Amino acid sequence: METASTQFSPSRCKYRVRSPTSAGLGGSGPGLAGCGPMNSWAPGTLAVGRVKFFSRHRGEVNSSAFSPDCQTLLTASEDGCVYGWKTQSGHLLWRLGGHTGPVKFCRFSPDGRLFASTSCDRTIRLWDVAETKCLQVLKGEWAGWDWEPTSQAWVPFQTLLCHLTGHQRSVETVSFSPDSKQLASGGWDKRVILWEVQSGQVLRHLVGHQDSIQSSDFAPNSDCLATGSWDSTIRIWDLRARTPEIFYRELEGHSGNISCLCYSASGLLASGSWDKTIHIWKPSTRSLLVQLKGHATWVKSIAFSPSGLQLASAGYSHMVKVWDCNTGKCIETLTGVLDVAHACVFTPDGKLLVSGAAD
C-alpha cells in the first residue's frame, strides 16, 4: 500500500509517482490533490494534474492536514508518530514520536506556527513547527477512584474534578481558535475540553453529548464552538459566557454519526455524517439551509471555498465532490485517484487540495 497525493488542474492531466522506500502502510496512506481556481469554476473541468506518493509510514494513516499556506502536509499514523512532508516535492521533513499510542488526528494552528496531535494515549501534544519540538502535553492527572451516585459505579476520581483534569479516553478531534490562542479537544469520554495554548491549562469543560465526539470547529469570530458527536447531534457552544454552565444550541437532522464540521468565513456551518449527507446550517437560527446528497459512503471531510460559494467533500471512498452551496447541486465529481480521501482543503487562491489513501 502506498500513500498518494494528487493535484487537479482544469487544463491538463499529469502524474508523478515516487516508489515507496519502506515496507507498506498496512492498510492506508495519505496523499494530496489540488484543482483549479473556484472563482472561475466551470463544471466538467476538474482533471488530475499531479500524483505524489508518501510511503514511509509504519502503520495505517488515520488523519492528514495541510498547513495554512498549503506548503506542508501533516499525517497522523497508527505507528504513534506524526509526519511532516513538503507538499510539492513529497520530501519527508520530520517523523515525530512521543505519543504512546496510535495518533488519531492532527491539525495546524491558523497562524501556521503550531500543530496539534491527538492519540489513543488520551493526550494532545502541541508542537512548534519551526523547531519541530513538543511544547506541551495536554493530559489528565490520575487521582484515584470515587463512587459516582448517578451511575452507581466506581469512576476515575478526576472525572468528578473535571475542571482539573484532561481526557480519560482516546482523543479523536482537536481544533484551534482563529487567533490560535485556544484549543478544543474531544473524544471517547464524551467531553469537550477547552485549553489555553500558551500555558497548556484547562479553561473549561463542555459536557452534554451522549456519545463520542469526533469533530469540532471554532466560528470565525471565536464566539462559538461547534462539536459533532456519534449521538447524531451538533452542539453550538456559546463561549462568551463566563459562567460554569455554558449555553448551547443543538442542531438535529442527521440520522447518523457526525463525522466532520466546517465553518465558512461568513459563519455558516457544514456538517458531514455517516448518513452519507452534508447539511449546511445557519447556526444562529438553527436553520437547515440545504442538504447535499450524493456520496455512496459516509462523509469524512468537508471544506468551504474562500468565497463560501462552494463546498468540497470527501467520502470514505475514492469519491471527492464539489457542490454549489446556493443550489445544493454537485458541480464536480472526482473518482478513481484515491481509495480513501482523508482530508480536503482550499488554498487561499481557490485551489482544492485532497489527501487520502491509494494502493
Q: If pLDDT is split at 50, 70 and 90, which confidence band does 134 have?
A: very high
Is the pLDDT reported for residue 323 higher than 90?
Answer: yes
Is the pLDDT reported for residue 48 higher than 70?
Answer: no
| pLDDT for 140 | 65
Structure confidence by residue, pLDDT tens digits, 332-349? 888 766 677 778 888 877
Which residue would you say has higher pLDDT here, 161 or 90?
Answer: 90
Structure confidence by residue, pLDDT tens digits, 140-182? 654 444 445 555 555 554 444 444 478 989 999 999 999 999 9
Is the pLDDT reported for residue 14 higher than 80?
Answer: no
- Report the phi/psi class of residue 308: left, alpha or beta, with left for phi > 0 and alpha for psi in -120 to 50: left
| pLDDT for 340 | 77
The residue type of 37 is P
| pLDDT for 119 | 95
Cell readout for 118 is 491527538
| pLDDT for 24 | 23
**DSSP reduced 3-state for 177:** coil
Q: What DSSP state is assigned to residue 247?
A: P
| CA separation for the pair 118, 174 (Å, rounded) | 7
**DSSP reduced 3-state for 39:** helix
Q: What DSSP state is assigned to residue 298?
A: -
| CA separation for the pair 277, 291 (Å, rounded) | 7
Contact, 179 vs 222, CB < 8 A? Answer: yes
pTM of the model: 0.81
Structure confidence by residue, pLDDT tens digits, 182-230? 999 999 999 999 999 999 988 888 988 999 999 999 999 999 999 999 9
| pLDDT for 62 | 86
| pLDDT for 336 | 64
